[in-house]
Structure 1
Amino acid sequence: MAHIQFVDELVREYLLYRGFTSTVKAFDNDLKADKDKGFRVDKIVEQIVHYINVSDLNGFKDYWSHLDVLVFSKLEIHVQPAVRKLEYSLYKLYLVTAAQSTGGARNERITDFLSKMLPELQGQTEWRDWFMLPFIQKPEENPSFSLYFTRAWQDSVLVSLHNLLATVFQCMPQPTLTSYESDAAMVKRLQDKLAAVSGKTQPQQTEKTSPIGHQSRLSQYSERLSGPLPLVDDFCAVPSEQLESGVREAKGLRGLLRQMGGSPVMGRKASRSHSQN
């Protein structure tokens, strides 16, 4: 959703044009505090990784709750288990990162996490071994934890998070102001049709009826609507061969994402809202 930043600039330009200086200041402040990062997936993943690296559990949970309200709670019910599984994988990544800390901070960060998450995790079988993590000297060599300390598993979790967010943002209903991309595509189709017709009828056309002027205006309008080039996601640089081993927990989610493909995961809700209108 790289076009969001372009629309933000258009809104700011309009406010300045109208002389709404106080509104511009409030708008700029809101942009600085924007938790959605302009719907830039790489920035959202970067923020989550920051919380994990500094062992800020409260910050991570607050940020995930924000994403849950904004995005995940609007997904269809059959997608919710995959989102929950990814959340737990991020919790495990949090613990693995804490276990790799040096000095006394290691056990302190682990015990702090387990004590705060005890009410939520204690009844779940998959978390039973994790409560023993503070007492294991070399968890990366322990059969119960060795998988989670591999770079392949850690990368797969972040790639799964990145793919999920990218897919969901792509399917989210867009406000009217951001529909300029579809307008640009429509103009491009009309321009192509006009060029095709022009090629067929060129021998019979005179200078007076030539559509070149119309084509020029359509071209300018299309370029204006097209906006900036789409962003390149950082995680596309992760070699695929690094993800072929030790990714058992992420396979289910990636399979789900492949099934989702280009289908709108929120189509049911969108169609419901249209029917109400």
Structure 2
Amino acid sequence: MENIRYAEELVREFLVFRGFTSTLQAYESELSTEIGRNFQVDKTLDLVFSEYIPKYQLGRLVGLFTFFKQCFTSPADTELFSTLVKLELSVLRYYVVNALKSGRQDKVVEFFGESGNYLMQKREDWLAWFGALSYPSLAYIASMVFSVSHALSI
């Protein structure tokens, strides 16, 4: 709990330093409510599935998972970290499926362009997943990304 208070003070200090007075007021107001006292899983899920994925905000989605992974740094957190990585891969797959269902092939190409190197680290998971898909365009894109990434690593 002490770390949370320290982090809250750092945020306040930053907002004051930058002159974000209206943001500081909103921050203070939300902290004083019961909602601001606990981690809100529902709000985080709403952010992911109502904002980041439908609005194709891949950078913010990846950034959120990067933040969560940084929270699990001790050896005791290895099981939680592993679970978080699996969740991240599932959400990224959902992002791709959502883009395909919406006819946004450009977002699929952008996804593989931005995430191709990271996905290569999890290649086995992704290859099995792509093998089950019936979207030839997605399988083609995936094979191109994997081929280019493999050629670059040689």
TM-score (norm 1): 0.34
1:121 to 116, 119, 122: 119
Same amino acid, percent of matched pairs = 20
Q: Which residue of 2 aligns with 1:42?
A: 42
Q: Which residue of 1 aligns with 2:99?
A: 98
C-alpha distance in structure 2 between counterparts of 1:134 and 1:29, whole Å: 48
Which structure: larger Rg? 1
Distance 1:127 1:26, change over 3 A: closer
How many residues align? The count is 110
In the alignment, residue 118 of structure 1 is paired with which amino acid? G
Q: Which residue of 2 aligns with 1:87?
A: 88
SS at structure 1 position matched to 2:115: helix
Is this contact kept in 2: 1:110–1:134, CA < 8 A? no
In the alignment, residue 112 of structure 1 is paired with which amino acid? E
Unaligned runs of 5+ in 2: 1-20, 140-154
C-alpha distance in structure 1 between counterparts of 2:42 and 2:111, whole Å: 26
Unaligned runs of 5+ in 1: 1-23, 138-277
C-alpha distance in structure 2 between counterparts of 1:126 and 1:87, whole Å: 12
Is this contact kept in 1: 2:72–2:78, CA < 8 A? no
SS at structure 2 position matched to 1:44: helix
Question: C-alpha displacement at 1:51, in angstroms?
Answer: 0.3
Question: C-alpha displacement at 1:26, in angstroms?
Answer: 6.4
Superimposed CA distance per residue, residues 160-208 of structure 1 (whole angstroms, 9 cap, x where no aligned partner): xxxxxxxxxxxxxxxxxxxxxxxxxxxxxxxxxxxxxxxxxxxxxxxxx
In the alignment, residue 61 of structure 1 is paired with which amino acid? V
Q: Which residue of 2 aligns with 1:179?
A: none
SS at structure 2 position matched to 1:113: helix
Structure with bigger helix share is 2
Is this contact kept in 2: 1:72–1:83, CA < 8 A? no
C-alpha distance in structure 1 between counterparts of 2:44 and 2:84, whole Å: 16
In the alignment, residue 126 of structure 2 is paired with which amino acid? W
Q: Which residue of 2 aligns with 1:28?
A: 25
C-alpha distance in structure 2 between counterparts of 1:62 and 1:73, whole Å: 17
C-alpha distance in structure 2 between counterparts of 1:93 and 1:32, whole Å: 34
- Kindly indicate whether structure 1 or structure 2 has the higher relative contact order, using CA contacts under 8 Å at least 6 residues apart: 1
SS at structure 2 position matched to 1:122: helix
Runs of 4+, deviation exceeding 3 Å: 24-27, 29-34, 71-75, 129-134
Question: C-alpha displacement at 1:33, in angstroms?
Answer: 9.5
1:135 to 124, 137, 143: 137
Residues 1:53 and 2:54 are matched in the alignment:
yes
C-alpha distance in structure 2 between counterparts of 1:100 and 1:28, whole Å: 40
Superimposed CA distance per residue, residues 199-242 of structure 1 (whole angstroms, 9 cap, x where no aligned partner): xxxxxxxxxxxxxxxxxxxxxxxxxxxxxxxxxxxxxxxxxxxx
Question: C-alpha displacement at 1:98, in angstroms?
Answer: 0.7
Question: C-alpha displacement at 1:32, in angstroms?
Answer: 8.0
C-alpha distance in structure 1 between counterparts of 2:126 and 2:94, whole Å: 13
C-alpha distance in structure 1 between counterparts of 2:97 and 2:29, whole Å: 31
In the alignment, residue 119 of structure 2 is paired with which amino acid? L
Distance 1:64 1:79, change over 3 A: closer
Distance 1:89 1:136, change over 3 A: closer
